[in-house]
């Protein structure tokens, strides 16, 4: 089960996302202390972050840069600030995807699934080498041979 951290100050949106994503069997936490987002991030160890741009104290661009200092976890920006400059800044600051508000929950779910699939499900295949029926797993240093 993947863990998702929602950094959204609008509790209606945050709780709506949480309830929807939990129906898809994701473990979801919502930030409530916007001064200590990094503490919540390190405590929860999410596999994906949904991050608003306009937040109390510091904006989402700031928090994205802080997260990138310690993690490569996928970050999807959620924002009503949907002009091209904000989208470009979100990507340049380390974001992986951008979803404009208002959004459809089905679109959010599809993008969350796609980002998680690209990030985690294909990672294991890169550590496997095959040559003439011999399979070398670089992750656990095992060799298997099949004729």
- Whole-number pLDDT of residue 130: 75
pLDDT of residue 78: 92
pLDDT by position in tens, the chain (length 147) = 899 999 999 999 999 999 999 999 999 999 999 999 999 999 999 999 999 988 899 998 999 999 999 999 999 999 887 688 888 888 888 899 999 888 889 999 999 999 999 888 755 445 667 777 787 877 778 888 776
Distance of CA 40 to the CA centre of its chain: 15
Which domain, by its residues, includes 92? 3-145
Per-residue pLDDT, 147:
63
CA distance linking residue 46 with residue 38, whole number of Å: 12
- Quick one: pLDDT at residue 11? 93
Query: Distance (Å, rounded) from C-alpha 25 to C-alpha 121?
Result: 17
pTM of the model: 0.79
Phi first, then psi: give them for residue 64, nearest 5 degrees: -60, -45
Domain CATH number, residue 113: 3.40.50.2300
- For residue 74, the Cα-to-chain-centroid distance in whole angstroms is 3
Closest-CA residue to 90 (of 36, 34, 51, 45):
51
Number of domains in the chain: 1
Q: How far is CA 19 from CA 33, 56, 142, in A?
A: 20, 23, 42
| pLDDT attached to residue 124 | 46
> What is residue 63's predicted lDDT score, i.e. its pLDDT?
92
Non-local CB neighbours of 116 within 8 Å, separated by 6+ positions: 2, 47, 48, 74
d(CA 79, CA 43): 25
């Amino acid at each position: 089960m993947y863990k998702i951290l929602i950094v959204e100050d609008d509790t209606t949106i945050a709780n709506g996302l949480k309830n929807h994503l939990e129906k898809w069997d994701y473990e979801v936490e919502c930030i409530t202390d916007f001064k200590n987002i990094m503490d919540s991030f390190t405590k929860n160890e999410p596999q994906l972050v949904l991050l608003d741009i306009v937040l109390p104290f510091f904006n989402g661009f700031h928090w994205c840069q802080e997260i990138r200092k310690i993690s490569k976890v996928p970050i999807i920006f959620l924002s009503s600030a949907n002009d091209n400059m904000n989208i470009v800044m979100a990507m340049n600051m380390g974001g992986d995807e951008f979803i404009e508000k208002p959004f459809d929950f089905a679109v959010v779910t599809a993008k969350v699934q796609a980002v998680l699939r690209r990030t985690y499900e294909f990672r294991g295949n890169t550590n496997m080498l095959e040559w003439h029926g011999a399979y070398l797993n670089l992750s656990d240093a095992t060799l298997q041979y099949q004729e």
